[in-house]
Amino acid sequence: MVDKQTAGHDKLGDFAPKFADLNDNVLFGEVWSRESELSAHDRSMITISALISGGNMEQAGHHMTLGKKNGITQKEISEMITHLAFYVGWPKAWSAFNLAKEIWNSNVDLELTLRCLINI
């Protein structure tokens, strides 16, 4: 089960309340909660792939941390990024590997990791 997301309201609630609402309640509340259609593990794999493809490494880092929590293994993330390298570009794969290595090798508490990645 996906945890209640509050990052939108926490980070942008005063500045962009509608965006915060859509982020927390629609994207993470309605879309991510449809686990009978697609597991959180698979949603994380897809989301991480999309973010790496677009070069959105700040968000990819957050989603890698979430993906690790959703059961993505080091072997899976490594294979996924290797595969993506040929489709989205070698530099994007290097950047993604740098993030993934830090996240999968870390023994730091999940909340601490999320705070560090969000505040890059």
- Does the pLDDT of residue 67 top 60, yes or no? yes
| pTM of structure | 0.81
- Predicted confidence at residue 91, as pLDDT, reads 97
Kindly report the average pLDDT of the chain as a whole number.
Answer: 89
Higher pLDDT, 107 or 15: 15
Calculate mean pLDDT across residues 7-12. Answer: 84
39: CB partners within 8 A, 6+ apart: 70
Contact 11, 118 (CB under 8 A): yes
Distance from the first to the final alpha carbon of the chain: 27
Percent pLDDT > 90 in the chain is 74
Half-sphere exposure of 112 (CA within 13 A, CB side): 5
- Predicted confidence at residue 116, as pLDDT, reads 54
